[in-house]
Structure formats: structure tokens, C-alpha cells
Amino acid sequence: MTFTAQIGNVVFQDIIYNSSGPRCTTLEELRALGESESSAIMMKSCSPEPRDGNPEPRYKEVELGSINSIGLANHGYKKYIEYAAELKEQFPEKPVVVSIVGFCPEDFVNLVTAFQNEPNVDVLEVNLSCPNVVGKPQIAYDFETSDELLAKIFQIPGDKPIGLKLPPYFDPVHTAMMAEVLKKYPISFITCINSVGNTLIIDPEAEAPLIAPKWWLGGLGGDYVKPVALANVRMFYKLLWDRMMIIGCGGIKSWVDVFEHLLAGASLVQLGTVLGKEDTACFARIQQEFYEYMEKKWYTDAKQIIGQLKEL
């Protein structure tokens, strides 16, 4: 048994795939995702030009998760167009998802236009939430700027589904304000959440922070963030369930995390920190655990679970 999902006309043969995070920057890493049980091949956020990103050390794993300040290191969008062609040829059944990032509205417009015209790309995820570039605040925390940017993006002709990667919101008032902006546009999905930005982990032995860039602050992922992710999935599901799909991301490392994200309202889920830790074997492991539990509970369709949290 597997649960399938659909974004626009794009069919996902399973509901678990990778986030635009660890192990999706190089063609080799993307091919490994194609060969794995990941239900799609999601690429690292790409920018108009290649970027080296932030200085090392910039990614560390700890028992309860990970901290990163990669700074959007990527090969530039033209390379990802080339990679998409190779991946489509090798893995024709797997959706190829690009993640787009920019540093001004024109960047976003140019990249969305380029990928809307790219036959080997199926879905676009626009990243409005990277916390790791000095001097560039997370766009989606500014509702007016987000609104203006989305107005430009959704004027671009093209029929590929477009979704947004959002940061975590920590106050339901802010979630509701963002939902009002999102309602104005034909957004296919939102991915909740990007890492919890600007956190500090200290190594007490070394008496030093774990990572170097941006005053040693980075985006937190893994177990630490699951309750934040679930809260965002749930709040946006309540506000937007009839308009766009919610994709859950944050703290998923076992079947129970997938199940909780679905109950909260996610239709698909993405793996980040666990992929960094276990490599692509995590997809088959989590899928197997998840479907064993589903069979035990006699669930045959994800729709029986999505959003079905029993509210008190």
C-alpha cells in the first residue's frame, strides 16, 4: 500500500520526499534522490548566479536536530535547468521540484519565468524564508513585501503549480495575517516550515558556538522544531484548507512524525535533518514503518487522516 498525492496535475507516487535542505545541491545528490524511495526530487534553492554561501563551519548535527547557516550555496539556476533535463531522462516518473530564491523582486520574476518555460521541471517552490543571509530578512515575515512580490510572481504566464516555503510563525495573529495575503493568489501549496531561524547552539566543552556565520546564529531543524512545525501546519490548514495544500516539514524522522503532520493537515511531507543524518535510506525506512502502521489501523487513503486531528 502507498498513499499518493497530486499538486496540480503532477502526481506524487508517495507522500514523502526531501526538503530543499541537505543533500540536494549537486547532480550526484539529486541522482541519489532519484534512485531512492523519495517521491520527488526537490532541488536546493537556486539563485540567479552561483553562490559559495557562508563560511564554514556552517552545518552541524546534534542529538536533537541540526543547525545550519549555509547561506544559499548553490550552482545557479542555469545549472539546475541542466540537472532537471538529466534527472527527467533518468527518472521520468518522479516529479522534479525546483526551489527558487532571489535577492530582489526581479530575481524572483526572472527565475519563475525561466522555470515556467522549462519542460523538465514539474513544480516550483518559491523560498520566502531563508534566515541565513546577512542583511536580507526573511521575506515572509514582511506581509506587505510578500504581497507585492506575490502579485508580480502570479502575473507570470505558465501552468506549473507554484508553492511557497514559509518560515515558522509564532503568533496566530501573524499566521492569520499571512493567510489573508496568501488567499489573494492561486498558490498551489505552502510548505510549513523552513528552519527556525537565528538560533544559537553552544558546545559547552569547546565553550564555543557550533557554527561560524552570522554571529553564530543558524536555522534549527529536527526534533527541536516539530511542535513549531505542527502548529504552523495546523493553523494554516484551518485557515486555508479549501484553497491550497499544506506540505509538512519539520522534525520528521519516523512514521509517527509523518502521521502527526498528516493529522495536523499536511497532504505531503518533506524530510530535511534526517536526510542529512541517515542519507537517502531514510525514505524507505520511514515509508515502511508508516505503511505498517496504516495497515494495522486499516487506513487505506491519506484523506482519512489529513487534518483529522480530534480537537478537544
Active site residues: 130
Among 36, 38, 127, 232, binds ligand SIN (CB under 6 A): 127
Determine the interface stretch with ligand SIN among 64-72, 151-159, 248-256, 282-290 (rule: CB under 6 A). Answer: 64-72
Question: Is the CB of 99 or the CB of 287 nearer to ligand SIN?
Answer: 99
Q: Does 71 bind ligand SIN (CB under 6 A)?
A: yes
Among 38, 194, 267, 270, binds ligand SIN (CB under 6 A): 194
H runs (alpha helix) in the chain = 27-35, 77-90, 105-116, 143-153, 172-182, 213-216, 226-240, 255-264, 273-278, 281-296
Q: CB of 127: closest distance to ligand SIN in angstroms?
A: 5
Q: Does 130 bind ligand SIN (CB under 6 A)?
A: yes
| Pairing mode of beta strands 5-7, 10-12 | antiparallel
Q: Does 219 bind ligand SIN (CB under 6 A)?
A: yes
Q: CB of 74: closest distance to ligand SIN in angstroms?
A: 8
Q: Does 213 bind ligand SIN (CB under 6 A)?
A: no
Distance CA 46, CA 20 (A): 10
Q: Does 70 bind ligand SIN (CB under 6 A)?
A: yes
Residue 268 neighbours by CB under 8 Å, 6+ apart: 5, 7, 12, 15, 16, 17, 39, 189, 245, 247, 248
Measured between alpha carbons, how far is residue 304 from residues 54, 57, 149, 191, 294 in Å? 43, 44, 36, 21, 10
The residue ranges that bind ligand SIN (CB under 6 A) are 45, 68-72, 127, 129-132, 194-195, 219
